[in-house]
């Protein structure tokens, strides 16, 4: 089992399963630096954590998909629900990984968020199992369709 802690930027990608982008559905991003760096994605019918580990070496950022326990999924769902209530849904994504820009609350409830158990807590899931990696958080429907067609001509 390879954990996120064991992965470094010089990791050999061929030793970890590549996941087609069309098989990953970004649900929300939780950390940004000129674009998504981490968040929650759906893969194989289950929520996973995704973390960017390689943003400078390739045309698209590469994300490792990390397995979450039921408790960790519940924590992430509760955290996101409170974030949406306090700040808006602007970090949630459509199936293309595109954020819903313009849906931020005009008057965010910073006080409520600040009192919550989530405000200063970032879980990195370093000891969780890496199930694979994908390239490119955001994409187009055309690119997803093309990727699907490559497998089923």
Q: What's residue 33's pLDDT?
A: 81
- How far, in Å, are 101, 109, 128 from residue 5 at the CA level? 32, 34, 8
Q: What's residue 27's pLDDT?
A: 93
- Residue 8 pLDDT > 70: no
For the segment 16-44, the average pLDDT, to the nearest whole number, is: 90
Q: Is 59 helix (H, G, I), strand (E, B) or coil?
A: coil
Q: What's residue 153's pLDDT?
A: 55
- What pLDDT digit, counting tens, does each position of 135-146 carry? 888 877 777 787
- Residue 70 pLDDT > 80: yes
For the segment 66-77, the average pLDDT, to the nearest whole number, is: 97
Q: What's residue 62's pLDDT?
A: 87
Confidence band of 36 (pLDDT split at 50, 70, 90): confident
Among 4, 45, 9, smallest CA distance to 27 is for 45
Q: What's residue 136's pLDDT?
A: 86
Q: Is 105 helix (H, G, I), strand (E, B) or coil?
A: coil
For the segment 91-110, the average pLDDT, to the nearest whole number, is: 81
Confidence band of 102 (pLDDT split at 50, 70, 90): low
Q: What's residue 23's pLDDT?
A: 92
Q: What's residue 152's pLDDT?
A: 63
């Amino acid at each position: 089992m390879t954990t996120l802690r064991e992965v470094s930027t010089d990791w050999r990608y061929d030793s970890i399963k590549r996941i087609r982008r069309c098989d990953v559905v970004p649900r929300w991003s939780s950390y940004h630096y000129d674009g998504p760096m981490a968040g929650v994605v759906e893969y194989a019918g289950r929520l996973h954590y995704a973390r960017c580990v390689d943003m400078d070496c390739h045309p698209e950022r590469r994300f490792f998909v990390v397995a979450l326990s039921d408790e960790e999924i519940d924590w992430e769902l509760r955290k996101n629900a409170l974030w949406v209530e306090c700040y808006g849904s602007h970090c949630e994504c459509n199936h293309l990984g595109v954020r819903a820009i313009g849906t931020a609350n005009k008057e965010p409830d910073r006080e409520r968020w600040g009192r919550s158990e989530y405000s200063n807590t970032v879980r990195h899931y370093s000891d969780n199992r890496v199930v694979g990696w994908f390239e490119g958080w955001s994409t187009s429907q055309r690119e997803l369709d093309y990727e699907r067609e490559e497998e089923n001509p």
